[in-house]
Amino acid sequence: MTDLKKIKKEAEKEIGSAKDLKELQDVFNQYLGKRGELTQILRSLKDMPKRERIMFGKDANDVKNALTIAFDEKSAGLKAGEARAAEEKEWIDVTAPGKKIAVGHLHPLTLAKRKTMEIFQSMGFAVAEGPDIETEWYNFDALNIPKDHPARDVWDTFYLKDGPLLRTHTSPVQIRYMEKNNPPLRIIAPGTVYRHESTDSSHEFQLYQVEGLMVDKDISVANLKAVVGEFFRRFFEKEVDFRLRPDFFPFVEPGFDISITCLVCGGKGCSVCKETGWLEVAGAGMVHPNVFKAAGLSPEWQGWAFGFGLERLAMLKYRINDIRLFRSSDLRFLNQF
């Protein structure tokens, strides 16, 4: 009896002081292994008289069960501790930068163009394109800009050696489209345009323009305001106040300049808006009867057209401060989009 108690007490003490799984295994072997002390006692039971065997056997088995539980608990505790220790060795600095994945980038003008196309296509506008090299007829005459008239001076033009010119605006697409398609029509025409002028942070000789045209029997300035307002709202993804004021373009009458509230200062006045609170973003107007005539349409039609510079809109949307960056092909710039 005392042997059992003593074994139990000693075993429990040794289990408790085992520092790792190996030591615990040694303790286990010492008591419960094949040749363990308790194993041998249990084995010797069969040689005992029946009464003694029953009594002693019960006690011995109780000790065995108690020790087994103690071993298991200790073992689980040690295992958890060891796992924790191992994990701790795997500490990483989570503030160190992530590994860079090489991805490509679309040009900001492509992004702005896509957004623009998407908005207008959702309003039923088809996309039309025209050539960069244009004739005097499509670029000027058909648009009611007479030859040798000071009005033509507004468009500084690149001429090619053999006569044609580089279009100064996307408005020729209006004529080309109306020649081939009958109203009612709604189109949006994106494309490159060229201006013979020197460059600075807000002027470029090659630009991306988007032309819009809507023609039907009863299209009004009120409709232009609705469509343009919707475009600004969706393009800039916020409420944008805009205004129309008189301006002159020979191919429209009346003609407007469209300005939006300065997105930088919110209309209070800053250097970007030259303290006016407004930014000119587009020219627009009601299609001039002479333009319909030049495109072969009868006077029953009416409608509006507008044109804006995509660089200007992209500059406002992405807060780009120099228009020359767009065609700089500097990857430090492009990789930000």
Applying CB under 5 A, which residues contact Zn ion? 262, 264-265, 270, 272-273
> Which residues sit opposite 71 in a β-bridge?
none
**Shortest Å, Cβ 250 to other proteins:** 8
From its phi and psi, is residue 269 left (phi > 0), alpha (psi between -120 and 50) or beta?
A: left
Residue 40 known to be catalytic: no
Phi, psi (rounded to 5 degrees) for 253: -165, 115
Residue 127 known to be catalytic: no
Q: Which is nearer to other proteins, 225 or 234 (CB)?
A: 225
Check 142, 210, 215, 252 and give the catalytic one: 252
262 binds, among Zn ion, other proteins, none (CB under 5 to 8 A by kind): Zn ion
Say how far apart CA 292 and CA 299 lie, in whole Å: 7
Eight-class DSSP state of 200: B
302 binds, among Zn ion, other proteins, none (CB under 5 to 8 A by kind): other proteins
Residues 6 or more apart whose CB falls under 8 angstroms from that of 255 comprise 246, 247, 248, 249, 283, 284, 285
**Shortest Å, Cβ 39 to other proteins:** 51
Check 152, 176, 186, 195 and give the catalytic one: 195
Residue 288 known to be catalytic: no
Q: Which is nearer to Zn ion, 263 or 334 (CB)?
A: 263
Cα-Cα-Cα-Cα dihedral sign, residues 125, 127, 132, 133: negative
**Assigned token pair, 14:** 């040794």
**Shortest Å, Cβ 259 to Zn ion:** 11
Say how far apart CA 139 and CA 175 lie, in whole Å: 9
127 binds, among other proteins, Zn ion, none (CB under 5 to 8 A by kind): other proteins
Order of strands, sheet of 126-127, starting from the edge strand that comes earlier in the sequence: 126-127, 185-194, 206-216, 302-309, 278-287, 252-261, 242-246
302-309/278-287 β-pairing: antiparallel
26 binds, among other proteins, Zn ion, none (CB under 5 to 8 A by kind): none
**Shortest Å, Cβ 81 to other proteins:** 44
**Shortest Å, Cβ 105 to other proteins:** 4
**Shortest Å, Cβ 293 to other proteins:** 11
Residues 6 or more apart whose CB falls under 8 angstroms from that of 231 comprise 116, 119, 120
264 binds, among Zn ion, other proteins, none (CB under 5 to 8 A by kind): Zn ion
Check 186, 189, 209, 304 and give the catalytic one: 209
> Do 264 and 290 contact (CB within 8 A), yes or no?
no
Check 60, 128, 155, 295 and give the catalytic one: 155
Q: Which is nearer to Zn ion, 221 or 270 (CB)?
A: 270
Helices 2-17 and 50-89 cross at an angle (nearest 10°) of 0
Residue 305 known to be catalytic: yes
Q: Which is nearer to other proteins, 75 or 223 (CB)?
A: 223
Q: Which is nearer to other proteins, 3 or 132 (CB)?
A: 132
Q: Which is nearer to other proteins, 10 or 247 (CB)?
A: 247
Annotated catalytic sites, by residue?
155, 169, 195, 209, 252, 305
